């Protein structure tokens, strides 16, 4: 199946996070062409610093297949994983990571990005960037813009329209 189909599913998860006031990052795990897990950030909702989309998806996939080794699985995530999630990806033996948006805003994050790519690559994990990058970036941009403007309102759809457009087909 086309990679964009899976990334669109990850974007749907990211939108769920957005609606909850969470950083809008979504992830899906695919095995043999079938989505076996999906998750979105829940750090604020469940008050758990490890409740990132990637980690929650890994937990769900492990439960579904009955083991922690996700050897023949692929992870689709809307934003580049942090160091914690990169470690979980390696430990779970995921074979490929497909990333929507990069997370490079300053030199420290750029160094982290380079390290993470080398870290995943040295563990024989294929990494691909840029699948639906504009849509993934747009959702994150709109979320942080709304935070800066202090306009996040979970009970209205004032900004949701433009964010929702980023996950719909054009």
Which of the residues are catalytic? Answer: 54
* Alpha carbon distance 141, 133 (integer Å): 12
99, β-bridge pairs: 77, 129
Q: Which residue has the tokens 């979980």?
A: 88
Of 84, 91, 86, 87, which is closest to residue 69 (Cα–Cα)? 91
Of 79, 64, 67, 20, which is closest to residue 45 (Cα–Cα)? 20
């Amino acid at each position: 199946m086309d990679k964009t189909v899976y990334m669109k599913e990850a974007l749907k998860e990211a939108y769920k996070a957005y609606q909850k006031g969470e950083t809008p990052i979504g992830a899906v795990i695919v095995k043999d062409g079938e989505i076996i897990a999906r998750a979105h950030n829940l750090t604020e909702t469940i008050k758990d610093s490890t409740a990132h989309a990637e980690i929650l998806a890994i937990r769900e996939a492990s439960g579904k297949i009955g083991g922690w080794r996700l050897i023949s699985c692929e992870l689709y995530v809307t934003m580049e994983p942090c160091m914690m999630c990169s470690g979980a990806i390696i430990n779970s033996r995921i074979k490929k990571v497909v990333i929507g948006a990069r997370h490079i805003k300053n030199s420290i994050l750029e160094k982290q990005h380079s390290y993470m790519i080398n870290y995943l690559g040295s563990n024989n994990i294929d990494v691909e960037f840029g699948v639906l990058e504009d849509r993934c970036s747009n959702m994150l941009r709109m979320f942080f813009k709304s935070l800066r403007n202090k306009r996040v309102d979970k009970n209205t759809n004032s900004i949701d329209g433009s964010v929702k457009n980023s996950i719909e087909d054009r």
